[in-house]
Amino acid sequence: MRASSFPVIRDLVVDRSALDRVIEAGGHVAVAAGQAPDADAELVDHNTSEKALDYAACIGCGACVAACPNGAAHLFAGAKLLHLAALTQSKQERGRRAHAITGQMEQDFGPCSTYGECADVCPAGIPLDAVAGVNREALRFGLRRKAN
């Protein structure tokens, strides 16, 4: 299954639309921020915002998927989930997002065996703990994985 998620279109060109579907599944954060003076009413502490920016550094290149023996996208999906989870949002919205992203990821990519090749080749330096973020969000919202 290695990198089968990226079908070859022609020499040096692959179809990365599976990554785009994971991003689209996550949607956007719908926060009613109020008027301009109220927009910063719910502050995000500095450490949380720094961690969110670390995960937001993912450029969606797919190197993690290509390096993974299983063709998994857990590092990519984890970076997206953890980046968005740091933003102010309702528990309901966070749960819907986790369900949508993990569901799309499982549909298009292989299972993760935490070998770590993904983090080793990531040009943005996304840490391997992003993989744990996928599992943590899934557990937090009671998402059940399909049996392979």
- Domains for the chain: give ranges and CATH numbers: 18-23+46-147 (1.10.1060)
**In the beta sheet, which residues pair with residue 6?**
none
Mean pLDDT across 39-59: 83
| CB 119 within 8 Å of CB 72 | no
Bigger pLDDT: 37 vs 77: 77
pLDDT band at residue 67 using 50, 70 and 90 as cut-offs: very high
Name the least confident of 3-12, 21-30, 53-62, 68-77.
3-12
Dihedral sign of CA atoms 107, 7, 132, 45 in order = negative
Helix H or strand E segment including 54: helix 46-56
pLDDT exceeds cutoff 70 at 14: yes
Q: Which tens digits make up the pLDDT trace of 100-141?
A: 999 899 999 999 999 999 999 999 999 999 999 888 888 887
pLDDT exceeds cutoff 80 at 64: yes
Q: Which tens digits make up the pLDDT trace of 133-147?
A: 888 888 887 765 554
User: Which residues, other chains included, contact 140 with Cβ-Cβ below 8 Å and sequence gap of 6+?
Assistant: 95, 98
What distances in angstroms separate CA 100 from CA 97, 103, 127, 147, one per listed residue?
5, 5, 22, 18
What span, in angstroms and rounded, lies between the C-alpha atoms of 136 and 144? 12
pLDDT exceeds cutoff 60 at 33: no
pLDDT above 90: percentage of residues in the chain: 37
